[in-house]
Amino acid sequence: MSDHKAMLLNKNKVVLVTGCAKGGIGYEYCKAFAEQNCHVFASDISQRVDDMSELSSHNVETLELDVSSDESVESAVNTVISKYGRIDVLINNAGIGSPGPLAELSLDEIRKAYEINVLGQLRMVQQVVPHMASRRSGTIVNIGSVVGKVPTPWAGSYCTTKAAVHAISNTLRVELRPFGIDVVMVIAGAIRSNIGRNSVDKLKNCEWKLYKEFKDAIEERAWASQRSEKTTDAKVFARHVAKNVLRGRPPKQIVFGHMTCLFAFLSWSPLWVRDSFFAKRFSLNRKV
């Protein structure tokens, strides 16, 4: 390897992104970081690796990675380390929706959401941190959501996983400071992606008992972040995140996207205001 190429390899950030199937925000993160001359690894479960093939035209490498598997996470991280000797930035993006009323939603569905959205992020952190700590350098980016601060009806399972991500990020930010590792929490608003369609698909197999009269409202919540013309384009969102993460001193939080102002207002509002707003918005202001 020439000295010039070695210098470039050392200068350009090595970025590992989880949850990168086409049509999702992770896919756009990969392109956004590649535009900033980073060495990017896009990863997802084996069934979705083919969906990422077009990323090769952006000089993005692909990996099989299941964040719910210890072995898969270890293998993927070791692959990146063996090739570049480091991981400078971890984007903990992999996640799934789990729509439905908490009183009836299957506990198996809730466990799966926690396994991927919460424990999946921690699994990645625990594999990557020792490598970052040895170099006293690195950035971990955990993807949260406005609903992690202000939970909404019909999405309680997903909201609680994002609340957990926020708590984890706030803890890690302080715990990893002695090792020179930055932790950035992204609080995303309504971003256009496949999550709405995937959530609605899950509802097709659900037969509610107590909430059968609310079936349409539950489905509306699954689409809520996607149907507005003001929903933030995933490409715009990803570029904003990449630009801020790559700053010399990345911010502790990145709050961006449609509805972030509304949810900020709701977070400061009295609970009766919040409850009234969501009850009206999601058809819960009537007796059955």
What sections of 102-233 are H helices per DSSP? 107-117, 119-135, 156-175, 195-203, 215-223
φ, ψ dihedrals at 199, nearest 5°:
-70, -40
For residue 158, indicate whether it is catalytic: yes
Say what the pLDDT of residue 15 is. 98
Read off the tokens for 59: 């000089």
| More reliable by pLDDT, 79 or 287 | 79
Alpha-carbon separation of residue 273 from 145, 276, 277, 279, 285 (angstroms): 21, 5, 6, 10, 13
Read off the tokens for 24: 């999702």
Inform me whether the pLDDT recorded for 139 exceeds 60: yes
Contacts made by residues 273-276, CB under 8 angstroms, sequence distance 24+: 274/150
Q: Is residue 200 part of a domain?
A: yes
Q: Is residue 288 part of a domain?
A: no
- Across the range 134-162, mean pLDDT stands at 97
**Dihedral angle, C-alpha 180, 240, 72, 66, nearest 10 °:** 140
Query: Which residue out of 158, 212, 243, 280 is catalytically annotated?
Result: 158
Q: Is residue 287 part of a domain?
A: no
At 7, is the pLDDT very low, low, confident or very high (cuts 50, 70, 90)? Answer: very low
Say what the pLDDT of residue 11 is. 66
Tell me how many domains the chain contains.
Answer: 1
Q: Is residue 25 part of a domain?
A: yes
Inform me whether the pLDDT recorded for 198 exceeds 90: no
At 3, is the pLDDT very low, low, confident or very high (cuts 50, 70, 90)? Answer: very low
At 65, is the pLDDT very low, low, confident or very high (cuts 50, 70, 90)? Answer: very high
Q: Is residue 93 part of a domain?
A: yes
Inform me whether the pLDDT recorded for 2 exceeds 60: no
pLDDT mean across residues, the chain = 91
Residue 140: strand, helix, or coil = strand
Domain holding 83: CATH number?
Answer: 3.40.50.720
Q: Is residue 234 part of a domain?
A: yes
Read off the tokens for 182: 């930055």
- Across the range 6-10, mean pLDDT stands at 42
**pLDDT-wise least confident of 17-21, 205-209, 267-271:** 205-209
At 193, is the pLDDT very low, low, confident or very high (cuts 50, 70, 90)? Answer: confident
| More reliable by pLDDT, 18 or 197 | 18
Q: Is residue 286 part of a domain?
A: no
Rounded distance between C-alpha atoms, residue 250 and residue 141, angstroms: 10
Say what the pLDDT of residue 197 is. 62
How far is residue 49 CA from its own chain's centroid?
18
Q: Is residue 209 part of a domain?
A: yes
One-character DSSP codes across 252-271:
SEEEESBTHHHHHHHHHS-H
At 200, is the pLDDT very low, low, confident or very high (cuts 50, 70, 90)? Answer: low
**Dihedral angle, C-alpha 94, 96, 97, 102, nearest 10 °:** -110
Query: Which residue out of 162, 252, 280, 287 is catalytically annotated?
Result: 162
Which residue range(s) make up the domain with 73?
3-281
Say what the pLDDT of residue 207 is. 85
At 196, is the pLDDT very low, low, confident or very high (cuts 50, 70, 90)? Answer: low
Per-residue pLDDT tens for 201-260?
777 777 899 999 998 888 888 777 666 678 899 999 999 999 999 999 999 999 999 999
**pLDDT-wise least confident of 124-138, 193-207, 213-227:** 193-207
Q: Among candidates 179, 166, 164, 58, which has minimal Cα distance to 128? A: 179
- Across the range 146-169, mean pLDDT stands at 97
Say what the pLDDT of residue 9 is. 43
pTM: 0.92
Say what the pLDDT of residue 75 is. 98
